[in-house]
A and B are shown apart, each in its own frame.
Chain A
Amino acid sequence: MRYRKHLLAATAGTGLLVAFASLAMPLDTLEPSAEHIVQQVQYDRPDGEHHRKGDHHKASPEADDDDDDDDHGGRHGGAMPPQNASPPANGLFAPGSRPTVQTN
């Protein structure tokens, strides 16, 4: 009986820890400055390459602009981070989840 109590206590403790662990978030959620550092590295462009992207079909005059907001076309080996910290609440994502993306 005594050992059973210990066993139950250990199981309960483990369960409690796992319960908290299941609510854990990625570290960069807790430390926003880390995302800033990652962005600096990913946008570093030592070769000075500038990828221009026009409208696919040139359908309208305003579509053929100066493209100063180029998104790089994944040419730099990194990945543009999400514009917002969390995905939309469309029921598809787990609450509090943060997508990670990598381009090779």
Chain B
Amino acid sequence: MKSLLAMLAVTTALTLPGLANAAQVTFTTTLSSYGGDGAYLAYYVTDAAGKYAGSLWMAGGKSRYYQHLSGWYRATAGNTAEINGITGASVGAGRSLKISLDLADTLFDAGYQLHIDSAVEDMRDSPNEIVVPLTSAGSGHTVKGTRYIADFTYAR
């Protein structure tokens, strides 16, 4: 009996951290029909003090355009190591981008904010087009963009 209880305790201890520390989060971004080329989008997080905490995704593969994502660029000095492995294609007007990430639970309900900078060729840059606090309550709520992003939702 004691050995069974010990085994139960061990398996529970092994299981709970894996279940509790991460959750799959899906970011859905729909672009408006702004009539231009594909938009570059930078997804990054700041902490409760407003300090850059890290990048979550970069839509757009040419680093020379990253300076137009000025919020992200200022925070990272354009360091592409920040987006190594999390870079994809730019997103065409009217299209929808869905990104699924396994994120640490500590990002939620702890004052972190998700920022999305956007930029389009020969059009005005739009830093911080979306800024949303990462909270459990905010999951599933649609946020409207101001320039190139029609709306944005995250689901946890």
Contact A101 B37 (CB under 8 A): no
What 9 A-B pairs come out closest when comparing CB atoms?
A73-B38, A22-B18, A15-B11, A94-B22, A84-B85, A97-B102, A90-B54, A80-B89, A71-B61
Q: List 29 A-B contacts (CB under 8 A).
A: A8-B8, A15-B14, A16-B11, A19-B15, A19-B18, A53-B65, A56-B65, A56-B125, A63-B64, A71-B89, A73-B91, A75-B95, A79-B97, A80-B89, A82-B86, A83-B87, A84-B84, A87-B85, A88-B55, A91-B53, A91-B104, A92-B45, A94-B22, A99-B57, A99-B85, A99-B101, A100-B99, A102-B98, A103-B91
B49 within 8 A of A: no
Alpha-carbon distance A99/B85, docked complex (angstroms):
9
Report how many A-B pairs have Cβ atoms within 8 Å. Answer: 168
Closest Cβ of chain A to B57, distance in Å, is: 7
Alpha-carbon distance A81/B86, docked complex (angstroms):
8
Q: Decide yes or no: A71 and B103 within 8 Å by CB, A88-B55, A99-B57 being known contacts.
A: no
CB contacts (< 8 Å) of B38 on chain A: these are 51, 53, 71-75
| 6 more CB-based (< 8 A) A-B contacts, given A9-B4, A91-B54 | A63-B64, A73-B92, A81-B88, A83-B87, A85-B85, A94-B103
Contact B45 A15 (CB under 8 A): no
Q: Decide yes or no: A74 and B121 within 8 Å by CB, A19-B11, A97-B102 being known contacts.
A: no
Count of A interface residues, CB-CB < 8 Å: 47
Count of B interface residues, CB-CB < 8 Å: 57
Alpha-carbon distance A59/B92, docked complex (angstroms):
23
CB contacts (< 8 Å) of A55 on chain B: these are 64-65, 121
A39 within 8 A of B: no
